[in-house]
Homo-oligomer: A and B are copies of this chain.
Amino acid sequence: MRVRVQTEPSLALIKYWGKAEGGINLPATTSIAVSLGGLTTTTEAVAAPASSNGPRDTILLDNEAQQDPKIASFLAQFRSRYPQANSLEFTITSSNSFPTAAGIASSSSGFAALALAVSRAAGISLDSSQLSDLARTGSGSAARAVFGGFTSFPAGSPTATRLFDHTHWPQLRILVVMVHSGAKPVGSRDAMERTRLTSPYYEPWVTSSHELVEPTIAAVRNRRLDELGPLMRRSYLSMFGSMLAADPGVVYWLPESVRLIHQAARWRDDGIEVWETMDAGPQVKLITTEDQLPALRQRLQQEFPALSVLEATVGAGPQVTELNGASA
């Protein structure tokens, strides 16, 4: 079977940072997220009978062969859950419409796409909860990216759930400002573990993060960016604060990240409704609404002419196309 999948990255408004004990990527904090419609990971999986020596998968990311241990480990997890896949081997090709491993949640859409693609290619039909659970074993945030719209991924839970679909708040826009396109100096997974193991702020980060969850769901429910914004800001600043206190401290911010943080506050003072967030990397994501876009784009163009900007809407969720085995 040959299957093509398109998925969207999941951007956390309230952050997942830290893993709970006792499982693969069980989150220590509840995250609330939105799917980034318009940014796409496209993954194709072809299943074929495994050779007699066992399955030998081939993985091509952006046309380059990969020996990624995270992907190998994900496929081993997949086969242990669904032994019917032991008799199959996969040829997987994947590419992103946006920069990879640069703090735009490429691992969320990547593993959501992979979970969908290999399960469908193997002829295994999973419901959204099983799919979320499987995607999570590749990357925690991928548990959210199997859904469109707004999601919740509760602390300690193996699966995310959808809170509202993509039609709930169609005016919302997310601008991803590309401060730096290269890979990060420290991967998210390592920085998260370093924070958990060495930062004296890790426990209060986890505890205080919970307080943001219910007000954030209410702000999204009521489509109140003025209420959502300060909650998002507390979440990301606290997350970065927890990393600064790790040993050694992790500093993901770059000069232009900081300039954007300060300018976003100035733009708000000037009447533009925009709130920033950041993830484990230097990029800044600006959350705004459709009506604010012309003013905001003008300020970005004037004040940050060198930076490229990706624009996203609230995404509808993954799309799967099953292509006939014959054409594979």
- A residues lining the B interface (CB < 8 Å): 200-201, 203-205, 207-208, 230, 233-234, 237-238, 240-245, 247-249, 251, 253-259, 261-262
Q: Considering residues A240, A253, A257, A258, which has the most beta carbons from chain B within 10 angstroms of its beta carbon?
A: A258
Q: How far is the CA of A242 from the CA of B10 in the complex (A)?
A: 28
**B207, B247, B248, B262: the one within 8 Å of A200 (CB):** B207
Q: How many copies does the complex hold?
A: 2
In the complex with contacts A200-B204, A200-B207, A205-B200, A251-B244 CB distance below 8 A: no
Which residues in B have their C-beta under 8 angstroms from that of A247? 234
Whether B244 pairs with A237 at a CB distance below 8 angstroms is yes
Give the top 5 A-B pairs by smallest Cβ distance, nearest first.
Answer: A255-B255, A241-B244, A241-B241, A237-B249, A200-B208
Shortest Cβ gap from A264 to chain B (Å): 11
Which residues in B have their C-beta under 8 angstroms from that of A240? 241, 244
Q: Which residue of B lies closest to A250 (CB)?
A: B237
Q: How far is the CA of A238 from the CA of B250 in the complex (A)?
A: 11
Q: Which residue of B lies closest to A206 (CB)?
A: B200
Q: How far is the CA of A240 from the CA of B249 in the complex (A)?
A: 11
Q: How far is the CA of A258 from the CA of B258 in the complex (A)?
A: 8
Whether A255 pairs with B259 at a CB distance below 8 angstroms is yes
Q: Which residue of B lies closest to A202 (CB)?
A: B204
Q: How far is the CA of A297 from the CA of B242 in the complex (A)?
A: 33
Q: Considering residues A204, A237, A241, A251, which has the most beta carbons from chain B within 10 angstroms of its beta carbon?
A: A241
Which residues in B have their C-beta under 8 angstroms from that of A203? 204
Which residues in B have their C-beta under 8 angstroms from that of A258? 251, 253-255, 257-258
In the complex with contacts A258-B253, A258-B257, A200-B238 CB distance below 8 A: yes
In the complex with contacts A255-B259, A258-B254, A258-B257, A201-B245 CB distance below 8 A: yes
Which residues in B have their C-beta under 8 angstroms from that of A208? 200, 245
Whether A237 pairs with B230 at a CB distance below 8 angstroms is no
